[in-house]
Structure 1
Amino acid sequence: MTTQPDAETRDSTSRLEEEGEIAADYLEELLDIADLDGDIDIDVDHGRAAVEIVSEDPADRSLRRLAGRDGEVLDALQELTRLAVQAKTGERSRLMLDVAGYRADRRTALAAVARDAVARVKETGEPVALEPMNPFERKVVHDAVAEAGLVSDSDGVEPQRHVVVRPA
Protein backbone atom coordinates (compact mmCIF):
# COMPACT_ATOMS: atom_id res chain seq x y z
CA MET A 1 0.00 0.00 0.00
CA THR A 2 1.44 3.38 -1.00
CA THR A 3 0.54 6.48 0.93
CA GLN A 4 -0.13 9.72 -0.86
CA PRO A 5 1.15 12.98 0.60
CA ASP A 6 -1.61 15.00 2.21
CA ALA A 7 -2.91 18.15 0.54
CA GLU A 8 -0.97 20.44 2.90
CA THR A 9 2.34 18.71 2.05
CA ARG A 10 1.58 18.92 -1.70
CA ASP A 11 0.67 22.60 -1.38
CA SER A 12 3.84 23.34 0.60
CA THR A 13 6.05 21.47 -1.89
CA SER A 14 4.39 23.20 -4.82
CA ARG A 15 4.88 26.61 -3.13
CA LEU A 16 8.57 25.84 -2.54
CA GLU A 17 8.99 24.68 -6.14
CA GLU A 18 7.40 27.97 -7.26
CA GLU A 19 9.88 29.88 -5.07
CA GLY A 20 12.70 27.96 -6.74
CA GLU A 21 11.40 28.79 -10.23
CA ILE A 22 11.07 32.50 -9.41
CA ALA A 23 14.57 32.51 -7.91
CA ALA A 24 15.96 30.70 -10.98
CA ASP A 25 14.45 33.31 -13.32
CA TYR A 26 15.92 36.12 -11.20
CA LEU A 27 19.35 34.48 -11.05
CA GLU A 28 19.41 33.71 -14.78
CA GLU A 29 18.89 37.41 -15.48
CA LEU A 30 21.69 38.25 -13.06
CA LEU A 31 24.05 35.77 -14.77
CA ASP A 32 23.20 37.31 -18.14
CA ILE A 33 23.91 40.82 -16.86
CA ALA A 34 27.21 39.70 -15.30
CA ASP A 35 28.07 37.71 -18.44
CA LEU A 36 28.66 34.54 -16.41
CA ASP A 37 27.90 31.00 -17.54
CA GLY A 38 26.06 28.78 -15.13
CA ASP A 39 23.18 26.37 -14.77
CA ILE A 40 20.52 26.62 -12.11
CA ASP A 41 19.58 23.54 -10.05
CA ILE A 42 16.33 23.71 -8.07
CA ASP A 43 15.39 21.40 -5.20
CA VAL A 44 13.37 21.33 -1.99
CA ASP A 45 15.55 20.54 1.03
CA HIS A 46 14.46 20.40 4.69
CA GLY A 47 11.31 22.42 4.03
CA ARG A 48 13.06 25.13 2.01
CA ALA A 49 13.54 25.92 -1.62
CA ALA A 50 17.18 25.20 -2.44
CA VAL A 51 18.74 26.78 -5.51
CA GLU A 52 22.30 26.33 -6.70
CA ILE A 53 24.21 28.02 -9.49
CA VAL A 54 26.57 25.42 -10.94
CA SER A 55 29.23 25.64 -13.60
CA GLU A 56 28.95 23.64 -16.79
CA ASP A 57 32.75 23.24 -16.66
CA PRO A 58 34.08 21.93 -13.31
CA ALA A 59 37.46 23.60 -14.00
CA ASP A 60 35.82 27.04 -14.41
CA ARG A 61 36.15 28.95 -11.13
CA SER A 62 34.51 32.20 -12.30
CA LEU A 63 31.26 31.55 -10.43
CA ARG A 64 33.19 31.51 -7.14
CA ARG A 65 33.28 35.32 -7.43
CA LEU A 66 29.55 35.20 -6.65
CA ALA A 67 30.40 33.60 -3.31
CA GLY A 68 32.99 36.21 -2.40
CA ARG A 69 35.52 36.05 0.36
CA ASP A 70 34.03 34.23 3.36
CA GLY A 71 30.68 33.96 1.53
CA GLU A 72 29.62 37.57 2.07
CA VAL A 73 28.65 38.09 -1.58
CA LEU A 74 26.67 34.84 -1.52
CA ASP A 75 24.82 35.96 1.62
CA ALA A 76 23.90 39.26 -0.04
CA LEU A 77 22.87 37.52 -3.26
CA GLN A 78 20.73 35.09 -1.27
CA GLU A 79 18.98 37.98 0.47
CA LEU A 80 18.33 39.77 -2.84
CA THR A 81 16.96 36.54 -4.31
CA ARG A 82 14.69 36.06 -1.29
CA LEU A 83 13.41 39.62 -1.77
CA ALA A 84 12.74 38.96 -5.48
CA VAL A 85 10.75 35.85 -4.52
CA GLN A 86 8.83 37.79 -1.86
CA ALA A 87 8.00 40.53 -4.37
CA LYS A 88 6.39 37.92 -6.66
CA THR A 89 4.68 35.73 -4.05
CA GLY A 90 3.88 38.23 -1.30
CA GLU A 91 5.32 35.78 1.24
CA ARG A 92 8.65 35.74 3.06
CA SER A 93 11.08 33.21 1.61
CA ARG A 94 13.57 31.01 3.48
CA LEU A 95 15.25 29.98 0.23
CA MET A 96 18.82 28.71 0.47
CA LEU A 97 21.22 29.66 -2.31
CA ASP A 98 24.54 28.03 -3.12
CA VAL A 99 27.06 29.01 -5.77
CA ALA A 100 29.58 26.56 -7.23
CA GLY A 101 29.35 24.33 -4.15
CA TYR A 102 30.54 27.06 -1.75
CA ARG A 103 27.97 26.27 0.97
CA ALA A 104 28.41 22.51 0.53
CA ASP A 105 32.18 22.89 0.99
CA ARG A 106 31.66 25.23 3.93
CA ARG A 107 29.23 22.76 5.54
CA THR A 108 31.93 20.06 5.40
CA ALA A 109 34.54 22.37 6.95
CA LEU A 110 32.14 23.49 9.70
CA ALA A 111 31.28 19.89 10.56
CA ALA A 112 35.00 19.35 11.20
CA VAL A 113 35.14 22.48 13.40
CA ALA A 114 32.13 21.17 15.36
CA ARG A 115 33.71 17.71 15.78
CA ASP A 116 36.91 19.32 17.14
CA ALA A 117 34.92 21.44 19.59
CA VAL A 118 32.89 18.42 20.71
CA ALA A 119 36.11 16.47 21.31
CA ARG A 120 37.57 19.35 23.39
CA VAL A 121 34.38 19.65 25.47
CA LYS A 122 34.29 15.89 26.09
CA GLU A 123 37.97 15.92 27.05
CA THR A 124 37.89 18.94 29.37
CA GLY A 125 34.25 19.15 30.44
CA GLU A 126 34.48 22.89 29.80
CA PRO A 127 32.46 24.96 27.29
CA VAL A 128 34.20 25.90 24.04
CA ALA A 129 33.43 29.22 22.28
CA LEU A 130 33.92 29.24 18.51
CA GLU A 131 34.76 32.10 16.16
CA PRO A 132 31.92 34.41 15.01
CA MET A 133 29.74 32.89 12.27
CA ASN A 134 26.79 33.87 10.12
CA PRO A 135 23.38 32.24 10.76
CA PHE A 136 23.90 29.50 8.12
CA GLU A 137 27.23 28.53 9.65
CA ARG A 138 25.89 28.55 13.22
CA LYS A 139 23.00 26.28 12.19
CA VAL A 140 25.41 23.77 10.65
CA VAL A 141 27.47 23.72 13.85
CA HIS A 142 24.39 23.46 16.12
CA ASP A 143 23.15 20.48 14.08
CA ALA A 144 26.54 18.71 14.24
CA VAL A 145 26.86 19.33 18.00
CA ALA A 146 23.34 18.00 18.64
CA GLU A 147 24.10 14.94 16.53
CA ALA A 148 27.14 14.30 18.76
CA GLY A 149 24.91 14.44 21.86
CA LEU A 150 26.12 17.76 23.28
CA VAL A 151 24.38 21.13 23.49
CA SER A 152 25.22 24.49 21.97
CA ASP A 153 23.98 28.05 22.16
CA SER A 154 24.51 31.14 20.08
CA ASP A 155 26.00 33.98 22.08
CA GLY A 156 26.82 37.61 21.33
CA VAL A 157 25.47 40.15 18.88
CA GLU A 158 26.02 40.27 15.11
CA PRO A 159 28.58 40.40 13.62
CA GLN A 160 30.30 38.78 16.63
CA ARG A 161 27.57 36.18 17.24
CA HIS A 162 29.18 32.80 17.82
CA VAL A 163 28.46 29.25 18.97
CA VAL A 164 29.34 27.98 22.42
CA VAL A 165 29.52 24.18 22.74
CA ARG A 166 28.70 22.82 26.20
CA PRO A 167 28.61 19.43 27.89
CA ALA A 168 25.20 17.70 27.75
Structure 2
Amino acid sequence: MTDDTTTAEAPEVDQDEVERDEADIAGDYIEGLLDICDLDGDIEIEERGGRVYLSVTDDGEGLRVLSKPETVTALQELTRIAVQAETGEFSRLILDVGGSRDARASELQRLVDTAIERVEGGSSSAALPPMSSYERKLVHDLVAEKGFHSESEGEGRDRHTVVTR
Protein backbone atom coordinates (compact mmCIF):
# COMPACT_ATOMS: atom_id res chain seq x y z
CA MET A 1 0.00 0.00 0.00
CA THR A 2 1.40 3.39 -0.95
CA ASP A 3 0.72 6.67 0.70
CA ASP A 4 -0.22 9.29 -1.88
CA THR A 5 -0.35 12.17 0.59
CA THR A 6 2.23 14.88 0.21
CA THR A 7 3.58 17.12 2.85
CA ALA A 8 3.92 20.80 2.06
CA GLU A 9 7.41 21.95 2.85
CA ALA A 10 8.21 25.49 3.80
CA PRO A 11 10.31 27.17 1.15
CA GLU A 12 13.93 27.52 2.08
CA VAL A 13 15.03 31.05 2.83
CA ASP A 14 18.29 32.08 1.24
CA GLN A 15 20.09 34.15 3.92
CA ASP A 16 21.95 36.17 1.27
CA GLU A 17 18.60 37.07 -0.31
CA VAL A 18 17.23 38.18 3.06
CA GLU A 19 20.32 40.36 3.63
CA ARG A 20 20.00 41.89 0.16
CA ASP A 21 16.36 42.59 0.84
CA GLU A 22 17.24 44.18 4.17
CA ALA A 23 19.95 46.27 2.53
CA ASP A 24 17.72 47.31 -0.37
CA ILE A 25 14.83 48.24 1.90
CA ALA A 26 17.11 50.20 4.24
CA GLY A 27 18.82 51.94 1.33
CA ASP A 28 15.48 52.92 -0.19
CA TYR A 29 14.24 54.18 3.17
CA ILE A 30 17.32 56.36 3.75
CA GLU A 31 17.20 57.62 0.17
CA GLY A 32 13.57 58.64 0.72
CA LEU A 33 14.51 60.45 3.93
CA LEU A 34 17.28 62.34 2.17
CA ASP A 35 14.82 63.35 -0.56
CA ILE A 36 12.32 64.61 2.04
CA CYS A 37 15.10 66.64 3.70
CA ASP A 38 16.28 67.84 0.28
CA LEU A 39 19.79 66.57 1.02
CA ASP A 40 22.24 64.93 -1.33
CA GLY A 41 24.11 61.87 -0.20
CA ASP A 42 25.76 58.76 -1.52
CA ILE A 43 24.66 55.52 0.09
CA GLU A 44 27.12 52.65 0.36
CA ILE A 45 25.89 49.28 1.57
CA GLU A 46 28.04 46.39 2.71
CA GLU A 47 27.64 43.25 4.78
CA ARG A 48 30.09 42.45 7.58
CA GLY A 49 29.71 39.50 9.89
CA GLY A 50 26.07 38.93 9.02
CA ARG A 51 25.15 42.56 9.63
CA VAL A 52 24.20 45.20 7.06
CA TYR A 53 26.13 48.48 7.23
CA LEU A 54 24.82 51.59 5.49
CA SER A 55 27.07 54.61 5.09
CA VAL A 56 25.71 57.93 3.89
CA THR A 57 28.31 60.42 2.68
CA ASP A 58 28.40 63.66 0.74
CA ASP A 59 31.02 66.05 -0.59
CA GLY A 60 29.88 69.06 1.40
CA GLU A 61 28.46 69.90 4.79
CA GLY A 62 24.84 68.94 3.99
CA LEU A 63 24.74 65.87 6.23
CA ARG A 64 26.15 67.68 9.26
CA VAL A 65 22.69 68.13 10.77
CA LEU A 66 21.95 64.40 10.42
CA SER A 67 25.35 63.18 11.65
CA LYS A 68 24.88 64.05 15.32
CA PRO A 69 25.09 60.82 17.39
CA GLU A 70 21.55 61.08 18.78
CA THR A 71 20.16 61.76 15.32
CA VAL A 72 22.05 58.84 13.75
CA THR A 73 20.78 56.52 16.50
CA ALA A 74 17.20 57.68 15.91
CA LEU A 75 17.52 57.31 12.12
CA GLN A 76 19.03 53.86 12.59
CA GLU A 77 16.07 52.76 14.73
CA LEU A 78 13.56 54.18 12.24
CA THR A 79 15.36 52.37 9.42
CA ARG A 80 15.35 49.11 11.40
CA ILE A 81 11.60 49.49 11.99
CA ALA A 82 11.03 50.11 8.27
CA VAL A 83 12.99 46.96 7.43
CA GLN A 84 11.14 44.91 10.04
CA ALA A 85 7.76 46.17 8.79
CA GLU A 86 8.67 45.04 5.28
CA THR A 87 10.40 41.72 6.05
CA GLY A 88 8.85 40.68 9.35
CA GLU A 89 12.39 40.06 10.62
CA PHE A 90 14.34 41.97 13.27
CA SER A 91 17.07 44.08 11.70
CA ARG A 92 20.53 44.59 13.21
CA LEU A 93 21.70 47.04 10.57
CA ILE A 94 24.16 49.77 11.43
CA LEU A 95 23.80 53.26 9.97
CA ASP A 96 26.61 55.77 9.60
CA VAL A 97 25.91 59.31 8.45
CA GLY A 98 28.74 61.62 7.48
CA GLY A 99 31.42 59.56 9.24
CA SER A 100 29.72 59.81 12.63
CA ARG A 101 30.55 56.19 13.53
CA ASP A 102 34.29 56.70 12.95
CA ALA A 103 34.21 59.90 14.98
CA ARG A 104 32.38 58.10 17.80
CA ALA A 105 34.82 55.15 17.63
CA SER A 106 37.71 57.60 18.13
CA GLU A 107 35.89 59.15 21.07
CA LEU A 108 35.28 55.70 22.58
CA GLN A 109 38.98 54.88 22.17
CA ARG A 110 39.86 58.00 24.18
CA LEU A 111 37.34 57.02 26.89
CA VAL A 112 38.82 53.50 27.08
CA ASP A 113 42.38 54.85 27.24
CA THR A 114 41.41 57.18 30.11
CA ALA A 115 39.63 54.36 31.98
CA ILE A 116 42.65 52.07 31.61
CA GLU A 117 44.94 54.84 32.87
CA ARG A 118 42.74 55.14 35.98
CA VAL A 119 42.87 51.37 36.58
CA GLU A 120 46.63 51.31 36.02
CA GLY A 121 46.89 54.25 38.43
CA GLY A 122 45.37 52.23 41.25
CA SER A 123 41.59 52.38 40.86
CA SER A 124 39.91 49.01 41.16
CA SER A 125 37.59 49.91 38.29
CA ALA A 126 36.58 52.73 35.96
CA ALA A 127 32.98 53.24 34.82
CA LEU A 128 32.23 54.73 31.43
CA PRO A 129 29.09 56.75 30.67
CA PRO A 130 25.92 54.98 29.47
CA MET A 131 25.92 54.07 25.78
CA SER A 132 24.16 51.90 23.21
CA SER A 133 24.72 48.16 22.96
CA TYR A 134 26.67 48.68 19.72
CA GLU A 135 29.00 51.16 21.44
CA ARG A 136 29.40 48.90 24.48
CA LYS A 137 30.42 46.07 22.14
CA LEU A 138 33.06 48.33 20.59
CA VAL A 139 34.28 49.28 24.07
CA HIS A 140 34.49 45.62 25.17
CA ASP A 141 36.60 44.88 22.08
CA LEU A 142 38.89 47.88 22.67
CA VAL A 143 39.35 46.97 26.34
CA ALA A 144 40.15 43.33 25.49
CA GLU A 145 42.73 44.46 22.92
CA LYS A 146 44.53 46.28 25.75
CA GLY A 147 44.49 43.16 27.93
CA PHE A 148 41.91 44.41 30.43
CA HIS A 149 38.44 43.18 31.39
CA SER A 150 35.08 44.93 31.01
CA GLU A 151 31.47 44.22 31.89
CA SER A 152 28.20 45.95 31.18
CA GLU A 153 26.21 47.03 34.22
CA GLY A 154 22.89 48.77 34.78
CA GLU A 155 19.58 48.64 32.98
CA GLY A 156 18.01 50.47 30.06
CA ARG A 157 19.35 53.94 29.42
CA ASP A 158 21.71 53.63 32.39
CA ARG A 159 23.52 50.56 30.98
CA HIS A 160 27.23 51.30 30.92
CA THR A 161 30.61 49.58 30.82
CA VAL A 162 32.96 49.10 33.76
CA VAL A 163 36.65 48.45 33.09
CA THR A 164 38.79 46.36 35.48
CA ARG A 165 42.20 44.73 35.38
Q: TM-score, normalised by structure 2?
A: 0.85
Instruction: Map 1:143-154 onto structure 2 (within 5 A).
Output: 143-154=141-152
1:33 aligns with 2:31: no
- Contact residue 67 and residue 99 of structure 2 kept, 8 A: no
Report runs of 4+ in structure 1 exceeding 6 Å deviation. Answer: none
The answer to whether the 8 Å contact 2:19/2:52 transfers is: yes
Secondary structure in structure 2 of the residue aligned to 1:131: coil
In structure 1, what residue type is equivalent to 2:38?
A: D
Larger helix fraction of residues: 1
* Partner Cα distance (1:156, 1:50) in 2: 28
Match 2:94 to one of 96, 105, 123: 96
Larger radius of gyration: 2
1:160 correspondence with 2:127: no
What TM-score, normalized to structure 1?
A: 0.83
**46 and 89 in structure 1: CA distance in 2 versus 1, 3 angstrom threshold:** same
Residue matched to 1:76: 74
- Report how many aligned residue pairs link the two structures: 154
Structure 1 alignment gaps of length 5 or more: 1-7
Gaps of 5+ in 2: 1-11
Name the stretch that deviates more: 46-55 or 14-23: 14-23
Q: 1:50 aligns with which of 25, 50, 53?
A: 53
Counterpart position of 1:117: 115
Aligned letter for 1:66? L
Select between 88-97 and 157-166 the one with higher mean Cα deviation: 157-166
- 1:114 is displaced (CA, Å) by 1.1
The percentage of aligned residue pairs carrying the same residue is 48
Q: Deviation digits for residues 32-82 of structure 1, max 9, x if unmatched?
A: 111000011000122200001111x1xx222121133xx111111101101
Cα RMSD between the aligned structures? 1.9
